[in-house]
Structure 1
Amino acid sequence: MSPLPATIPALVRTRVRAAVRRPARLTPEETAGRALTLRLGSLLLQYPDAELTSARTELTTVTAALPATPAAEHLARFTDWFAAQDPEALERHYVEMFDLRRKSSLYLTYYLHGDTRRRGMALLTLNQRYRAAGWDTGGGELPDHLPVVLEFAALAGPGGGEAPLRRHRRGLELIHRALTDADSPYRHVLAALLTLLPPPTEADRAAVALLVAEGPPNEDVGLDAYGTYPAYGNGEFAPPDTFVPPLTAPISAPHSHEEDQR
């Protein structure tokens, strides 16, 4: 959307922008299809363990049955690839894309706040949103992990449920760009999600360009403000020029994807 003239009163400009970005009213059928699309996105962005890879036929069938939308088309492209791959190759590709690359990590608050104190507060706020809606994540992942955010959006609906996605649109854009640059089929899942959100503004595009050039904010602190998972990262972060993938929030003890396969 092009900038509105400065001669238009600020209140009018604010309301026009809000109207453009406000989600359209959906029919019950559209709402159900949207929720299913979000839930599929949540599943497809999870680590491809034995349980998930064994369900590839069902996932492909469900995706093919979605109402014809741009999001469904993107998901179908991904599931066609996903169903044809060797399980071990899928695991390696997932780790390479999401665990070892700074610009395609699935932890959304990282892109907005980087390794700063504000990120701890953002995680706490997000977890409080889930609890206020009566939803318990189970503690297996941090609340900003994209599959968790998508599951909440599917359960809570297009309004408040999708608010975290809209807030982190710029991070989603950066992940999509990074996956596209890496020629990863996971780019189709991100593309599907982006079709569900309001179009980016000029400010969004500028912010993404800045993230690409400079990366998220950095600060030599831990996530002490986020009390739900006090062991996350042990309060340590990598130097600015290196990247340590975010750990999953431990239930009993930290573990890696590789350990899950032992």
Structure 2
Amino acid sequence: MSARLVHQVASWLLSYPDDEVVAALPDLEAALREQRPAAPVRELLEVVERLRDTPVEQLRHDYVDTFDLTRRHALHLSYWTEGDTRRRGEVLAAFKQVYRDSGRVVRLDGELPDHLPVVLEFAAVVDPERGTEMLQRYRASLELLRIELEDDESVWAGAVRAVCATLPGASPRTRTEAMALAGPVQPVETVGLEPYDPRLLPLAEGAR
């Protein structure tokens, strides 16, 4: 299975399950069943099947509860490494510059440019090379998100596992190993809201 297809399907599955996403689930399932049964395919198929079998209103409630009401499952890649710091503004500008350099219109749909479904869509259909580079650069964020979702036994953990499987090297087993992928932590310069949970701060704020 190509990394581009994994990224495309995961982008849909990790997006808010509005009418368009819900209607696309049968097509996503059909596309996956045409692939060889590799691990990422199995991961994504399980997510598709569980989302498909969940009543729509319950699915939307679960999504909001999972991704919008806690920072422990932040889908914004730079949040894990920069937190609420002034440096994050520079990082977000860098994401936008990558999109501009592609010469294509990248739909943000009201999201910040580091929103994982946006980055995955970019990697799948606009510029696979640059998109994959961005995912690799924020591998620590992806792996920490994966670990948090797995700990909470979230249906969406499989989608993140599938994305991680498209990147070089094995996934880290622990938070400490995942954090090490980020390299040196930037000095803290917190602005805005207080962290959701002091035990699970982004890397820039001392996560462990």
TM-score by length of 1: 0.67
Q: Contact 2:96/2:113 (CA < 8 Å) preserved in 1?
A: yes
Q: Contact 2:164/2:171 (CA < 8 Å) preserved in 1?
A: no
Q: 1:217 to 1:79 in 2, by over 3 A?
A: farther
CA displacement 1:11-53 (0-9 Å, x = unmatched)? xxxxxxxxxxxxxxxxxxx6xx321221111111100012211
Larger RCO, structures 1/2 (Cα 8 Å, 6+ apart): 2
Alignment match of 1:96 (pick from 57, 65, 80): 65
Counterparts of 2:3 and 2:196 in 1: how far apart (Å)? 39
TM-fit CA distance, 1:241: 5.2
1:39 maps onto 2:8 in alignment = yes
Q: Contact 2:11/2:116 (CA < 8 Å) preserved in 1?
A: yes
Following TM superposition, the consecutive aligned residue runs of length 4 or more in structure 1 with deviations greater than 6 angstroms are none
* Matching residue of 1:133: 102
Q: Gaps (5+ residues) in structure 2?
A: 199-208
Counterparts of 1:200 and 1:61 in 2: how far apart (Å)? 28
Once superposed, what is the RMSD of the aligned Cα atoms? 2.6
Counterparts of 2:86 and 2:65 in 1: how far apart (Å)? 28
* Matching residue of 2:141: 171
* Matching residue of 1:50: 19
Letter in 2 for 1:164: M
Q: Contact 1:133/1:156 (CA < 8 Å) preserved in 2?
A: yes
1:161 maps onto 2:135 in alignment = no
Matches within 5 A, 1:4-153: 33-140=2-109, 141-153=111-123
SS of the counterpart of 2:96?
helix
TM-score by length of 2: 0.83
Higher mean C-alpha deviation, range 135-144 or range 42-51:
135-144
Counterparts of 1:198 and 1:210 in 2: how far apart (Å)? 15
Q: Contact 1:56/1:83 (CA < 8 Å) preserved in 2?
A: yes
Bigger helix fraction: 2
* Matching residue of 2:193: 238
Q: Gaps (5+ residues) in structure 1?
A: 1-29, 222-236, 244-262
TM-fit CA distance, 1:149: 0.3
Q: Contact 2:66/2:73 (CA < 8 Å) preserved in 1?
A: yes
* Matching residue of 1:195: 165
Q: Contact 1:81/1:185 (CA < 8 Å) preserved in 2?
A: yes
Letter in 2 for 1:171: S
